Structure 1
């Protein structure tokens, strides 16, 4: 698949880039996509939830009233989970929600996400660029020139660009990041992928499957 390379003002250049079908043209694997997104979401959880059980509750261990003869159900101390202010039975405790997914599966998930975007025509290639200083207005003008105003855009750069990152920080639907750091979740979440010309080769180099060696 070949895509036209565009200038900042939205006009087309004479150049095109060829998307490697092994990265942008595979049959997407929905189960692998689900696994990788589940891993990403799980790893974002802090797992710091905590309640006190009856052993940690600061109440006296005195028996509240005698065992028999009161007409009430028998009761122990005030730490009992059935008492107001008592400890919590089987409550949440700090834990890690981290999930592990093989790297090959993660790469397959990213290739599947890119293939979905390519199939939907949601990938646009722009020439490599940067700003001399952060400018949200200028980045808005670039997006408007490409008809992307108001859409969720993921701009993938060749390398970290602090100026572009700062320019996008006040745009809630725009995110700028290095192509090598884009996760499956971020690729799927964007409505349009805006790739710098050099970022295409970065994705090819990173995600192209190894060619089996002939015997």
Structure 2
């Protein structure tokens, strides 16, 4: 039976180690299967968008550079031949799909071998539960530091999806947080140590944290903002609001009074009569 060090949610080590499930942690490590699983995983990460232009896709070269005979030079049919500068590329990469697949049982065996390898090395740590009430990176860093994993690549496996733990470790480049059921063989081999929640191994999901429970060590207390406002400021704001309302009412009444007044008709301007011509004027 393989055992792993057991820790509390605050990072304190328990006296007795945690006995790993014997049906899964039986010590088998199949290296060829691990190599195959890692190779398939890395192949599936490739985009396959590398491309080069052959002589049929390079622009130009429609005309013969010089005549066939009489120049003393070697005959040439196109300036876009592969041996010309700026010509096409021979046997270059083209867009393709690098995706490969392996049987499901081979994937399961590779994952089992990776976890067994970490357990045999003593790099598998079991935590009672992750007591996170909110996403806090400092709390996760302090927990890993108490486990002696500071500065190492760590894979944190939770019992089910835990958003608070995921957001706490998202900002740490050397920490990866995944549900226990979604971790692959590559994820386990990528890390130097693996931290597993106890509920993921026993199959018993941890109960939600009570509201009145104390926070674990290393967590910064949250500061509650007081909703009470000073009396002076509230009185000043109320006076300003009442003054603004009064000015609005005055403007509204003035507009209504102006609208009720009858509109005076403007008299049309009289047309100027043409000046009379004086007698004797032409």
SS at match of 2:24: helix
Query: Whose radius of gyration is greater, 1 or 2?
Result: 2
Structure 1 pair 77/100, CA: closer, same or farther in 2 (3 Å)? same
| CA shift for structure 1 position 82 | 1.1
Q: Which runs of 5+ in 2 are unaligned?
A: 204-282
Of Structure 1 and Structure 2, the greater strand share is in 1
Say which structure, 1 or 2, has more relative contact order (CA 8 Å, 6+ apart).
1
CA contact (8 A) 1:37 1:184 kept: yes
Question: Which residue is 2:244 aligned to?
Answer: none
Deviates more, 1:79-88 or 1:28-37: 79-88
Q: Which runs of 5+ in 1 are unaligned?
A: 203-215
Q: Please say if 1:106 is aligned against 2:107.
A: yes
CA contact (8 A) 1:130 1:161 kept: no
Distance 2:131 2:88 in 1: 58
What do the CA deviations read for 1:95-121 (whole angstroms, capped 9, x no partner)?
111111111111111111111111111
Question: Which residue is 2:67 aligned to?
Answer: 66
RMSD between superposed Cα atoms in Å: 1.8
CA contact (8 A) 1:26 1:111 kept: no
CA contact (8 A) 1:136 1:168 kept: yes
What do the CA deviations read for 1:161-196 (whole angstroms, capped 9, x no partner)?
222112112212111111111111110121111000
Question: Which residue is 1:182 aligned to?
Answer: 183
Deviates more, 1:181-190 or 1:18-27: 18-27
Question: Which residue is 1:168 aligned to?
Answer: 169
Q: Please say if 1:55 is aligned against 2:64.
A: no
| CA shift for structure 1 position 69 | 2.3
Distance 1:165 1:24 in 2: 26
TM-score by length of 2: 0.67
TM-score by length of 1: 0.87
What do the CA deviations read for 1:131-151 (whole angstroms, capped 9, x no partner)?
222211111111111111111
What do the CA deviations read for 1:40-61 (whole angstroms, capped 9, x no partner)?
0000001011111111111141
Distance 2:72 2:168 in 1: 72
Question: Which residue is 1:33 aligned to?
Answer: 34
Aligned residue pairs, count: 202
Matches within 5 A, 1:63-142: 63-142=64-143
Q: Please say if 1:147 is aligned against 2:148.
A: yes
